Homo-oligomer: A and B are copies of this chain.
Amino acid sequence: MSVQIKFNLNEGLYIKNPQESKLGKKIIQFSIILISEIGFETFNFKKLATKINSTEASIYRYFENKHLLLLYLVNWYWEWVNYLINFYSMNITNTEKKLEIIVHSLIFATENNSLVEFIDESKLHKIIVFEGTKAYHTIEVDKENSIGLFKSYKKLTANIASIIKEYNPDFKYPKSLASTVFEMTNNQLFFAKYLPNLTDVKKPNNSEKEIEIMLNFYLKKLLS
């Protein structure tokens, strides 16, 4: 069984909606595979074109440049995590449990849920951990922000912040904590894998579980 889900991503992200054609889906599918394999800096449209037996020109009809393609993928991820959090906390009334669902969703976004057939969520998550922040650390932030290209991140942050506030209405920094939890998760996953000296993770191959425990501890301690 596969549920068909389509996220409405900001139109400024693409020239032509990749979710609405065969080639578009292939671009998304294989850009995820390629970027996760060779890294964003060495990735380019020519290599992608070769991989999918298409041409550079065709890819440029969907995305203005590789930066916007990355931003598209990152937006998709933001929407996806948001969806996961809402999905898993749907019938939950216990707010503490909801905090745990946030953490779990952020870390085990790693599992290939195959929510959408052409997106390998596990590889996408790898890209987020490795390249995610590059999507907004660009000289064009202000311009891109003004046309709504980070709306999904704001929505996700607002959603997490609302759960934080639900858990502790007196907490002064719900939004900052929300964005910090997001960034910190990816950072600690990155460090655990590549620069373990910057963390306290013991088992590098099972670091997700340790990081989950740590994040839950952080959150509850801060909000107590």
Cβ contact within 8 Å between A194 and B142: yes
Task: Render A120-145 as a binary contact track against B, CB cut-off 8 A, 1 for contact.
Answer: 00000000001101101111011001
Q: With a CB–CB cut-off of 8 A, which chain B residues contact A173?
A: 199-200, 214, 217
Nearest B residue to A132 via CB reads B137
Q: With a CB–CB cut-off of 8 A, which chain B residues contact A142?
A: 194
Complex interface residues of chain A between 187 and 224 (CB less than 8 A to chain B): 187-188, 190-191, 194-195, 197-201, 214, 217-218, 221-222
Cβ contact within 8 Å between A137 and B141: no
Is A86 part of the contact surface with B, judged by Cβ < 8 Å?
no
Is A16 part of the contact surface with B, judged by Cβ < 8 Å?
no
Cβ contact within 8 Å between B194 and A187: no
Q: With a CB–CB cut-off of 8 A, which chain B residues contact A222?
A: 218, 221-222
Q: Say whether chain A's binding surface is mostly helix, strand, loop, or mixed.
A: helix
Q: With a CB–CB cut-off of 8 A, which chain B residues contact A175?
A: 197-200
Is A183 part of the contact surface with B, judged by Cβ < 8 Å?
yes
Cβ contact within 8 Å between B183 and A39: no
CA distance A38 to B22 in the complex (A): 38
Nearest B residue to A161 via CB reads B200
Nearest B residue to A130 via CB reads B137
Q: With a CB–CB cut-off of 8 A, which chain B residues contact A174?
A: 200
Cβ contact within 8 Å between A188 and B180: yes
Complex interface residues of chain A between 31 and 76 (CB less than 8 A to chain B): 38-39, 41-42
User: Nearest 10 pairs between A and B by C-beta?
Assistant: A39-B139, A179-B198, A141-B194, A176-B199, A173-B200, A154-B197, A175-B200, A176-B200, A157-B198, A183-B187
